[in-house]
Amino acid sequence: MDGNFRVGSWFVEPSLNTVSFNCTTVRLERKQVEVLVCLAQHPGQPVSKENLLRTVWPDTCVGDDVLIRAICELRRVFEDDPKDARFIQTIPKRGYRLVAPVQPVNGHKSTTIELSFPSTASAAIEPTKKNKKLKTVLTEVLAVVVICGILLALNVAGSRDRVFGGHTPVIRSLAVLPLQNLNGDPSQEYLADGMTEELITELSQISALRVISRTSVMRYKGSKKLLPEIAHELGADGIVEGSVLRSGNKVRITAQLIYAPQDTNLWAETYDRDLGNVLALQSEIANNITSAVKINSTPQEKERLKNAQPVNVQALEAYLQGEYHLNRYGRGFGDEEDKAAISYFQQAISAEPGFARAYVEMANAYEGLMLPANKRWPMERAATEKALALAPNLAEAHFTMGRVRLFSDWDFPAAGREFQRAIELNPNNAEAHDWYALYLSSVGRDEEAKAEGKLAQQLDPVHYLHDLPVDEDRGIILLQNYLELNPEDGYAHLDLANRYARKGMQKEHVGELEKTAASFGFPAFGKQVATAYARSGYQGALRTWAEGLDRNGVNRPMMVAAAYVRLGDKDKALRWLERAYSEHDDDMVCLKVDSVWDPLRSEPRFKELLRAVGLN
């Protein structure tokens, strides 16, 4: 369309990038105007996203989020409700349609409607006729105003209830897809990933809403799958997607909520904030989303969401960088990523000493260090205690303290209480349910462990259960499916290796040990294990694995002990178990239930270890 035009009651001047209505003029970004012009060239007809992107951004490779942001801004200006569109309608799986009438306007702004009263002289000429006409006009205008007011009130109060055949869609489960980095700079990926994780964390505090875990949604980063397909795979009713755009210390976050079964937009918003306020912004977005889906949060949940505080910019930068590196550790990257994460968390704490979450994440990073457990746990305990002192109701801190109580203190009742408190504060934390299941299994409460494992699976549907010695075949299938999508996850390879070993699947066990070593940054060691298997069979592979762990500085004596049990060397196995006891190795809590230790159960030294750990 060339020149100026009207969309409904709005006057559009593309050359000036403005739209006007009732003496109010709004200036838009150039690309937003071009989107509107493109839609106006096909009034009443669907225009595909591909066509819009190709027309408005012909020489630039951009994602759908750029177009979505432009549409959201146009709707905001026109005060258009996407669920009851009067201007721009979303056509699921196709694009958008301009449903408001379009009228070309040649020259200046015209056809502006004005109400004016007649002069006294003209009224005196034909008083009866003029007064009757004026009375009729005013009556009609007043009627229109009243009717419009009523309709507007009904629209504001009931627009959500009028969609979908008169029923508000029920959303009880939600998945936040990875936010897109619109900067096009790979070095800013940590910011988009961090914002995704923080939004999931905030939403997870709402007990009436099931929120899919980060580990399940991150696999869809850059995915071209349709939203209904993703939602079906994750078992989610609603999808949140959006983008992050950074300019200096300013951040623009766009988010929209989609009712997945019909691929229909329920809510969308764009937020411009200083970088230091983005953690508080995630709470605001979470509140807006829960309002959009009509979820009733408890007073305590509302209070926690409301109390998010701004963070020093330098501290936030370091914190998000730390999370980024911590999430890479054990996924094709070794100890250097864990150490980098610790360094960034220390920087965050130096810049913002009251930053409780940074202490929690530093505690999590300490756990990955290749140090004896009795040297790691004091550092993890100190960081966690500091986090709890700063934020007594921080769910992640209670979860981390649960690990300290379980693995370092062997205080099983205290560990159970901490895990339960973490779940109470964040009922959607799949990891907390998973570790609570491990705790329950370690004390022989298998049925309860299975129930918690099932909850974890619902919250993290494409992930896997912890290495619990129950449901072995099902666990293998879950891990195989998960690793098809996440082949770099070393923790999953190790869990699958242990399950293969318990099932007597020797070749498969060795193959997973090789992949485990590679995932944690020891590819040469992994190849040595595989070579030993080819030359000397299973016994040779196990011996190479046991000797290589210690030689490569992997301080996990329980893993070495397990290898010697399978080799039939009980004495060496017990010596390594005694070392594991002295170092408080993490896996000591599984002595009672893990079948790998069955050949040692009649040994007095093994019985003494069980008693010392508190499992007898």
pLDDT in tens, 558-599: 999 999 999 999 999 999 999 999 999 988 988 988 889 999
Question: What is the structure's pLDDT at 162?
Answer: 40
**Residue 564: inside a domain, yes or no?**
no
- Tell me which amino acid residue 211 is: V
Q: Which two tokens stand for residue 433?
A: 């349910």
Of all residues in the chain, the percent with pLDDT exceeding 70 is 86
* Per-residue pLDDT tens digits for 443-475: 888 889 888 888 888 888 766 555 554 567 877
Question: Average pLDDT for residues 531-543, to the nearest whole number?
Answer: 95
Question: What is the structure's pLDDT at 417?
Answer: 96
Domain boundary among 84, 105, 126: 105
Q: Which long-range contacts (CB under 8 A, 24 or more apart) does 219-222 make?
A: 219/462, 219/485, 219/486, 220/177, 220/178, 221/177, 221/178, 222/178
Residue pointed to by tokens 């939602």: 231
Question: What is the structure's pLDDT at 537?
Answer: 95
Question: What is the structure's pLDDT at 129?
Answer: 38
338 and 277 within one domain: no
320 and 206 within one domain: no
Q: Which long-range contacts (CB under 8 A, 24 or more apart) does 570-577 make?
A: 570/599, 570/600, 570/603, 573/600, 574/600, 574/603, 574/605, 574/606, 577/605, 577/606, 577/609
Structural domain of residue 36, as residue ranges? 4-105
246 and 213 within one domain: yes
293 and 208 within one domain: yes
Question: What is the structure's pLDDT at 23?
Answer: 59
User: Per-residue pLDDT for 135 more than 80?
Assistant: no
- CATH value at residue 15: 1.10.10.10
* Per-residue pLDDT tens digits for 303-355: 766 666 677 888 888 998 999 999 888 888 888 899 999 999 999 999 999 99
Contact indicator for 408, 415 with CB cutoff of 8 Å: no
**Between residues 76 and 494, the one the model is more confident about:** 494
CA 428 to chain centre: 12
Question: Average pLDDT for residues 221-245, to the nearest whole number?
Answer: 85
**Between residues 580 and 264, the one the model is more confident about:** 580
Question: What is the structure's pLDDT at 168?
Answer: 61
**Residue 331: inside a domain, yes or no?**
yes
pTM: 0.65
Question: What is the structure's pLDDT at 116?
Answer: 27
Domain boundary among 426, 446, 472: 426
Domain boundary among 75, 105, 135: 105
Cα-flanking dihedrals φ and ψ of residue 201, to 5°? -60, -45
User: Per-residue pLDDT for 389 more than 90?
Assistant: yes
Question: What is the structure's pLDDT at 462?
Answer: 64
Question: Average pLDDT for residues 424-436, to the nearest whole number?
Answer: 89
Indicate the average pLDDT of the chain: 82
419 and 324 within one domain: yes
**Between residues 613 and 83, the one the model is more confident about:** 613
